[in-house]
Structure 1
Amino acid sequence: MRFGVSYNTAYYGVDPDALVAFARHAEECGFESLYVPEHVVLHPGARAGRFELPPSLPYADPLDLLAFVAAATRRILLGTAVLLLPYHHPVVLAKRLATVDVLSKGRMRLLTVGLGALPGEADALGVDFRSRGRRADEAIDVLRLLWAGDEEGVSFDGEFFTLDRACSFPKPYRAATLPVHVGGSSAAAARRAGLRGDGYFPGGALTARERADQLELARSTAAGAGRDPDALEYTRWGSAQMTDEEIESMAAQGVTRIVVTAVSADPAERLAELSSFADRHLR
């Protein structure tokens, strides 16, 4: 089992010193990775499930934040949970991700993408909310094509994106491509993970049976597409207060990575939560 931590500026704030202290402490504790979320824009009345999102929540740009973290750390892997893929042009995104990966010496390896659940956010970015799934599928294909391309360039003719001998450099650090994990708690997300993902990271308030069914759907979809279902990583959310029994239960469900969330509003107490978790489970 691998363990990551999440840092959400919407709730922790955007104090750079607190962010660096959290990332360095997580690294010292032995956590594998640090994940950050994304909202590009909010609006009054925006809701995530049962919860209203105040429009003043300070969601920092995830890739800028991770580049900042990379400069202040040495080992911890960098992840998103989730980056809203339909709201990024894949040509620009391919270069940004590869740049962070190169500058961090190969640590931009836990990109998790999702579709977004706020129609107003899609409207503000000029994206058709109803077609964002197809747009995301195409974007994943374009990202991988650009990372794998050479000096001759790559071409693509899709519903949303068109390339003609496009060359994207720099390439990922010592790798032909970057992993792309798929987030989301729907059957469509599970199928997307099986068809195109290197991993599946479901969220949402699902029952144990629903989670098991979606993991099986991701794995069976991968097998049906000629991909190795056993190569599909399975990441889930957890808390800094998790017990050994809860971790063992997740492992029995096929989980390969747990991303831990600290709940305290106080920066020092958040670090103490990470230390306590590390003492119980990582050391």
Structure 2
Amino acid sequence: MKFGISYSTPYYGVDPEKMTNFAKLAEECGFESLYVPEHIVLHPGATVGAFELPPALPYADPLDCLTFMAAATERILLGTAVLLLPYHHPVTLAKRLATIDVLSKGRMRLLTVGLGSLPREAQAMGVDFARRGRRAEEAIRVLRALWAGGEQGADHDGEFFSFEAVCSFPKPFGVTTLPVHVGGSSQAAARRAGRLGDGFFPGGALTAEERAVQWELARSSAAEAGRDPDTLEYTRFGSLDMPVERVQELAGQGVTRVVVSTAATEPDDQRRELSDFAQRFGLTPGGSH
């Protein structure tokens, strides 16, 4: 099992010293990865599930935050949970992600993308909310085409994006493409993860039975698309106080990574909670036990 930790700027704030100290602490404690969430804009009355999001929450740009924290660390992998892919132009995004990967020497490896659930956010970005799923799927294909394309350039002619013989350099660090994990709590997200993703990272308040159905749907969708379902990574959220038995249970369900977060905002409390977790699970510098 691998263990990641989330740094939520709406909760912890965007103080640069606190951000870098948290990243260093996570790496020191042996966490494999560091995740940052995204909202581009909010509005009064915006809700996610049953929770209302105060419009002044400081959702900082996740890729800028990860670049900043990468400069203060050496090993920890960088992830998003989730990046709202329909609201990013994939040509620009391919460049940004490859640049972060190069500057971090190959650590931008846990990009998780989602669709977003706020229609007014889509409207503000000029995106048709009803077509954001198709737009995201095409964006994944564009990203991979640009990363893999050589000096002769890459072509794409799709519903949302078109280009001919364009070259995007630098390439990701030492690889021909970056992993793209798919987040979301719907069956459509599970199918998308199987058909196009390198992993599935479901959220939402689902029952154990619903989660089992979705994971099987992701795997069967991969097989139907001619892909090996055993190569899919399966990431789930957990809690810092979770017992070893719970992690063993998740492993039995096929989970390969657990991402946790701390409610503590003071550095001493964060150190104690992260250190206790690392000790309980015997974390190593590779972020596994």
Q: What is the RMSD of the two structures over their aligned residues, measured on CA atoms?
A: 0.7
Query: In 2, distance between residues paired with 1:257 and 1:205?
Result: 18
Query: In 2, distance between residues paired with 1:100 and 1:34?
Result: 14
Task: String of CA shifts for 1:211-270, please: whole Å, max 9, x gaps.
Answer: 000000000000111100000000000111110111111111110000011112333312
Matching residue of 2:287: none
Query: In 1, distance between residues paired with 2:127 and 2:103?
Result: 31
CA contact (8 A) 1:194 1:219 kept: yes
Query: In 2, distance between residues paired with 1:62 and 1:271?
Result: 23
Query: In 1, distance between residues paired with 2:37 and 2:205?
Result: 18
1:71 is the counterpart of 2:84: no
> TM-score scaled by structure 1?
0.99
Task: String of CA shifts for 1:76-113, please: whole Å, max 9, x gaps.
Answer: 00000000000000000000000000000000000000
Where do residues 180-259 of structure 1 align in structure 2 (5 Å cutoff)?
180-259=180-259
Amino acid at match of 1:123: Q
1:178 is the counterpart of 2:174: no
Instruction: Look up the SS of the partner of 1:79 in the other structure.
Output: strand
Where do residues 7-46 of structure 1 align in structure 2 (5 Å cutoff)?
7-46=7-46
Long gaps (5+) in structure 1: none
Query: In 1, distance between residues paired with 2:267 and 2:64?
Result: 21
Query: In 2, distance between residues paired with 1:252 and 1:129?
Result: 37
Query: In 1, distance between residues paired with 2:267 and 2:238?
Result: 19
Amino acid at match of 1:114: G
Where do residues 87-236 of structure 1 align in structure 2 (5 Å cutoff)?
87-236=87-236
Query: In 1, distance between residues paired with 2:271 and 2:12?
Result: 12
Amino acid at match of 1:173: F
Query: In 1, distance between residues paired with 2:56 and 2:36?
Result: 18
Query: In 2, distance between residues paired with 1:182 and 1:83?
Result: 10
Instruction: Look up the SS of the partner of 1:259 in the other structure.
Output: strand
Instruction: Look up the SS of the partner of 2:71 in the other structure.
Output: helix
Query: In 2, distance between residues paired with 1:98 and 1:137?
Result: 19
> TM-score scaled by structure 2?
0.97
CA contact (8 A) 1:199 1:235 kept: yes
Amino acid at match of 1:270: Q
Long gaps (5+) in structure 2: 284-289
Matching residue of 1:2: 2
Identity rate, percent: 71
> How many pairs are equivalent?
283
Higher mean C-alpha deviation, range 256-265 or range 70-79: 256-265
Matching residue of 1:85: 85
Amino acid at match of 1:77: L
Task: String of CA shifts for 1:170-227, please: whole Å, max 9, x gaps.
Answer: 0000000000000000000000000000000000000000000000000000011110
Query: In 2, distance between residues paired with 1:261 and 1:52?
Result: 20
Instruction: Look up the SS of the partner of 2:234 in the other structure.
Output: strand
Matching residue of 2:282: 282
Query: In 1, distance between residues paired with 2:248 and 2:201?
Result: 18
1:49 is the counterpart of 2:49: yes
